[in-house]
Chains A and B, each alone.
Chain A
Amino acid sequence: MAGTILAVPAIGFTAIFAVLRFPNFTVAAHATIGAFAGYVANTALGLPAWAAVVVAFLVAGIAGVLNDTLVLRPLRPSGALTMAIAAIALNIALENVVRFIFGNDHRGYELALRRDWRLGVLRVGPQQVENLAIALVAMVAVFLFLAFTRTGKAMRAVADNPTLAGIKGIDADRVARLVNLVGMGLAGLGGMLLGLDTSIDPLTGFRVILSVFAAAVVGGLGSIPGAVVGAVTIGVAEELSLLVLAPAYRTAIGFVAILIVLTLRPRGILGERAY
């Protein structure tokens, strides 16, 4: 359970890193955009959670493609670090677009109240089970897409060796658009899943960003199976930290994990070379 939902935005972050080779910090803002798109679909259009997450995926994904094409792509020749700076500026700009429209108030989704399921002594919330199921379905879909479709293979080829992929006639711009659609879509989906448990506000995405980075780095930046392993590791570590640390420090666990992994095994659990 712990970390499964975190894996969704972490896959998005790491996939974009794998193809475009820069840390796109706007996953935070796109998670927020997805959460709010799902919120509108849920409250204004009355869609149930499982349908609203599709809206969250699409809106965040399309926003991701537009933002990359219009804002970040022209800066690509300036190098990865300039892109990282631009991404953090764009993240603030996007967050404030959400803030302008929705304000700073915390908002909750409209979900039908359901009685907890009892499994022996355990009590399980049906909504949490549904969130978990949505996260798993999204991940399985991504794996099937990358493993079996022609487009998915093209994406992996570009991530693996952009020059060779170019020689073989793979259109790098198309792959870049696609990875933004899928990656930012997953960020948006993840943002909504995280919001379903609690409430959402313009900083929803930013609050989990440290855990998302940690999941991606611990698993190995650029490795999609790594992001899943990393997210579960971070999720379990965050839960275990509650035994010894105040709950407020949950997110600091991610930072500590990043420092430990970079010191001992910079490539992460399943990653390639990190230098």
Chain B
Amino acid sequence: MRNYLVAMLTFAGLYGLMALGLNLVWGMTGLINLGLAGFFAAGAYASALVTVKLGLPIAVGLVAAALFAAATGAVMALTTRNLRGDYLAIVTLGFSEVVRLVASNEIWLTQGTDGISGIPGPWRGRVTPETFNLIYLAIVATFVVAALGLLERVRRSPYGRVLRAIRDDDQVAAVAGKRIIKFKVEAFALSAGIVGTAGALYGHYTSYIAPDAFAPLITIYVVLALTAGGTGDNRGAVLGALLVVFFMESTRFVTGSLPGLRPVQVAAVREFLIGGSLIAVLRWRPAGLIPERIPRAETP
């Protein structure tokens, strides 16, 4: 039971990290990223390849994952820089599918659908699996706290004010002399980098990644976490991730005990519930549990 709780908290941390990344771009800047699963996968593969194929340390893998995801994010944001937000939605959604295609087919690089196994984890093998899980939870928690601290600073800074201004009305921000494209691309890249880091952490935790693990459902999880917690609020993102993991695990027990359902039907009910609850939150509780409070600028 304790192992189970530790594992669930670790996954909640990974979703929380992604929800924080999404909050920067969707909650603060008002840009959409429907390809979170793709950036998560890109980070996971980048770090796995750097550590397994090149034999470099895990820390290098994490940095490579963040940089790779941030760079691809910057490309997406630059491509759609002058267009309405819908285009970014289409491009990012397409990107997450292409990542899976490449991961499934470039067998020389990614082992295709077999996936990459034997991804190193910190102190894995040198300590008992229970201790490893605890150490890993501590590492993930550190990352979440660090990201939370960083993004709270961004949110309260003049930089964050510009991002919110772009979200609320980018023409006003542009008229005020802000280079909105620069801000948008930076925010999108930083957000993608955070999501990519979460992907790398996932790979080093499970030691195995395969294209199947990066289905579009992950994007829904993260959007649900952020929306339920409170779009625009960083603490809300983390709280929402905890809630989503708790909710998903409880549906596992409830649907598992439903009589007369085949396994595929149980899986279908659970996925239906994720999609359905996101729609329900958007409709009845769009501000989430912790509604955004905009910090007041000090008047001189």
Chain A residues whose CB sits within 8 angstroms of the CB of B9 once the complex forms: none
Interface residue B34 (Cβ < 8 Å from any Cβ of A): yes
* A71 in contact with B98 (CB, 8 Å): no
Residues of B within 8 A of A80 (CB): 84-86
Contact B98 A252 (CB under 8 A): yes
For A91, the chain B residues whose CB sits under 8 A away are 275
Q: Which chain B residues numbered 57 to 92 have a C-beta less than 8 Å away from chain A?
A: 79-80, 82-87, 89-91
Interface residues in A229-259 (C-beta closer than 8 Å to B): 246, 248-249, 251-252, 254-255, 258-259
- A75 contacts chain B at the CB level, 8 A cutoff: yes
A109 within 8 A of B: no
Q: A252–B101 contact, CB under 8 A?
A: yes
In the complex, the answer to whether B94 meets A255 with C-beta atoms within 8 Å is yes
Query: At the interface, yes or no: B117 with Cβ under 8 Å from chain A?
Result: no
Contact for A92 among B94, B101, B275, CB less than 8 A: B275
B264 part of interface (Cβ distance < 8 Å): yes
In the complex the two chains form, is A210's CB within 8 Å of B82's CB?
no
B79 pairs with A71, CB closer than 8 A? no
Contact B79 A263 (CB under 8 A): yes
In this complex, how many residues of chain A approach chain B with their Cβ under 8 Å: the count is 48
Q: Are B282 and A86 in contact (CB under 8 A)?
A: yes
Q: In the assembled complex, which residues on chain A have CB atoms less than 8 Å from the CB atom of B101?
A: 248-249, 251-252
B271: Cβ under 8 A from any A Cβ = yes
What chain A residues lie within 8 Å of B216 (beta carbons)?
88, 92, 206
Cβ–Cβ < 8 Å partners of A58 in chain B: none
B52 part of interface (Cβ distance < 8 Å): no
Q: Which of B168-212 contact A (CB under 8 A)?
A: none
Instruction: Enumerate chain B residues within 8 angstroms of A89, measured Cβ to Cβ.
Output: 220, 223-224, 274-276, 278-279, 282
Query: Which residues of A from 250 to 275 have beta carbons under 8 Å from B?
Result: 251-252, 254-255, 258-259, 262-263, 266, 274-275
A248 to B101: give the CA distance in the assembly, Å: 7
B51 within 8 A of A: no
Q: How far is the CB of B229 from chain A (nearest CB, A)?
A: 15
Least CB separation from A259: chain B residue: B79
Q: In the bound complex, how far is the Cα of B283 from the Cα of A81, in angstroms?
A: 14
Contacts of B85 in A (CB 8 A): 80-81
Q: Among the listed stretches A93-101, A130-138, A167-175, A182-190, which one makes contact with chain B, having 4 or more residues with CB under 8 Å of it?
A: A93-101
Interface residue? B4 (CB, 8 A): no
Asked if A274 and B83 sit within 8 Å, CB to CB, the answer is: yes
The answer to whether B217 and A92 touch across the interface, beta carbons within 8 angstroms, is yes
Q: Which residues of A contact B292 (CB under 8 A)?
A: none
Is B272's CB under 8 angstroms from A100's CB?
Answer: yes
Residues of A with C-beta under 8 A to B223: 85, 89
Chain B residues with Cβ below 8 Å from A82 are 282, 286
Question: Is A266 a contact partner of B87 (Cβ separation < 8 A)?
Answer: yes
Q: A74 to B281, alpha carbons, bound, how many Å?
A: 12
Cβ-neighbour of A90 out of B90, B105, B275 (below 8 A): B275
Verify if B250 is at the interface (C-beta below 8 Å from A).
Answer: no
Contact yes or no, A210 B97, CB < 8 A:
yes
Question: Which chain A residues lie closer than 8 Å to B219 at the CB level?
Answer: 88
Other contacts beyond A75-B282, A248-B104, A266-B87: 16, CB < 8 A: A78-B282, A81-B89, A85-B282, A88-B93, A88-B219, A91-B275, A92-B217, A93-B275, A97-B272, A100-B269, A100-B272, A213-B90, A217-B90, A251-B97, A274-B87, A275-B84
Which residues does A use to contact B, with CB under 8 Å? 17, 22-23, 25, 71, 74-75, 78, 80-82, 84-86, 88-93, 95-97, 99-100, 103-104, 206, 209-210, 213-214, 217, 221, 246, 248-249, 251-252, 254-255, 258-259, 262-263, 266, 274-275
